[in-house]
A and B are shown apart, each in its own frame.
Chain A
Amino acid sequence: MMPRFKAGDRVLVDARDHEGHCRTPMYLRGKTGQVRKLIGIYKNPEELAYYKDAEEQPLYDVVFEWKEVWGEDSQDELAADIYEHWLQPIGE
């Protein structure tokens, strides 16, 4: 499958709810970050956890600025690995 994002792209993590196993932490939902790199293509853990025939999803290393996540100024950063089906593009 063709990854939708590339390094440098700004992305928004979906703020939706999800029932059951999920690897997108709550504190990053609805936050904007920047793709640092495409890690690879992996089976969707939300299905894999239930032994379903999981579809593949690109997985990205996404970096978030402190202020975006916590609203406070800081030079520190957060990074998390987020699957593509949780990410939306942000205007160029």
Chain B
Amino acid sequence: MPHDGHHHDDHEAIEDLDDITEFEVMEQAIRELLVEKGILSASQIQAQIDDMDSRTPVMGQKIIARAWTDSAYRERLISDPKSAFAEMGVTRLDENPEVVVVENTPERHNVIVCTLCSCYPRVLLGMPPAWYKKRAYRSRVVKEPRKVLSEFGTELPDLTKIEVHDSTADMRYLVLPMRPAGTDNWSAEQLEALITRDAMIGVKVPSIV
């Protein structure tokens, strides 16, 4: 490209300094201090970020699919979730909040929210979806859960009681959805594909139609 005078490429700044929030400034300052003082190394911080980014709902899907096909495992999953997760190879359980497994039945459907922030069973499902953190979901699902669920395409029978769990404190919640009828001979992989992230939050139900 000819350098005609001082004409520069017309491109947007990659990052506008004005867009950096107070929290980002604080995070950067604390991170730099921790590294400077030798409390954490930059590579330790990066390893933790990579670990979190690498988590996806896959582990949750595998755990639920096993619970659908192995009734002894299902009982362990409900009575002693931590060891049931460890059995499936979930690591770093001790560094993460405890997870409680709540089971859907024809009588009771569970849905999870954190009205105060965005508590979520990250150790099993990875980072929460954007809508889970939005005020609209957090404030509405505790007030009009049937309407919110119907916006996700989920219509529950009137006789099914909805229980909304607000993850207010040290526990995180994972929904154990009901296995759809007509999946008796399905492979683990086929079952896992039905068990979406949203089904494990309780805003959807696994369906084969």
Which residues of A approach B to under 8 Å, CB–CB? Answer: 23-25, 27-28, 39-40, 42, 45, 59, 61, 63, 70, 75-83
Question: Quick one: given A27-B142, A70-B143, are A81 and B171 in contact (CB under 8 Å)?
Answer: yes
A23-B116, A27-B142, A70-B143 known; A79 vs B169 contact (CB < 8 Å): no
Q: Are A77 and B142 in contact (CB under 8 A)?
A: no
B161 in contact (CB, < 8 A): yes
Chosen A-B contacts, 29 in total, with CB atoms closer than 8 Å, are A23-B116, A23-B168, A23-B169, A24-B168, A25-B116, A25-B166, A28-B166, A39-B171, A42-B169, A45-B169, A45-B170, A61-B171, A63-B163, A70-B143, A75-B159, A76-B163, A76-B164, A78-B142, A78-B163, A78-B166, A79-B163, A79-B165, A79-B166, A80-B165, A80-B169, A81-B171, A82-B168, A82-B169, A83-B169
Contacts of A59 in B (CB 8 A): 169-171
Classify chain B's interface size.
Answer: 10 to 19
CB-nearest residue of chain A to B170: A42
Q: How far is the CB of A48 from chain B (nearest CB, A)?
A: 10
Instruction: Name which residue of chain B comes closest to A80, CB basis.
Output: B166
Given contacts A25-B116, A27-B115, contact A76 B168 (CB under 8 A): no
Residue of B nearest to A59 (CB): B169
Partner of B164, one of A23, A40, A77: A77
Q: Quick check: B145 and A76 within 8 Å, CB to CB?
A: yes
Interface check B167, CB cutoff 8 A:
yes
Nearest 3 pairs of A and B residues by beta carbon? A81-B169, A80-B166, A76-B162
Contact between chains at B168 and A80 (CB < 8 Å): yes
- Residues of B whose CB lies within 8 Å of any CB of A are 115-116, 142-143, 145-146, 159, 161-171
Q: A75-B159, A76-B163, A83-B169 are in contact. List 11 more A-B contacts (CB 8 A).
A: A24-B168, A25-B168, A27-B115, A28-B166, A39-B170, A76-B162, A77-B162, A77-B163, A79-B164, A81-B166, A81-B170
Q: Which chain A residues border B116 with CB–CB below 8 Å?
A: 23, 25
B5 CB to nearest chain A CB (Å): 57
- Residues of chain A within 8 A of B143, CB atoms compared: 70
Q: Is the Cβ of B161 less than 8 Å from the Cβ of A75?
A: yes
List chain B residues, Cβ under 8 A from A81.
166-171
Residues of chain B within 8 A (CB-CB) of A82 are 168-169
* CB closest chain-B residue, reference A69: B142
CB distance from B172 to the nearest CB of A (A): 10
Chain A: minimal CB distance from B110 (Å)? 9
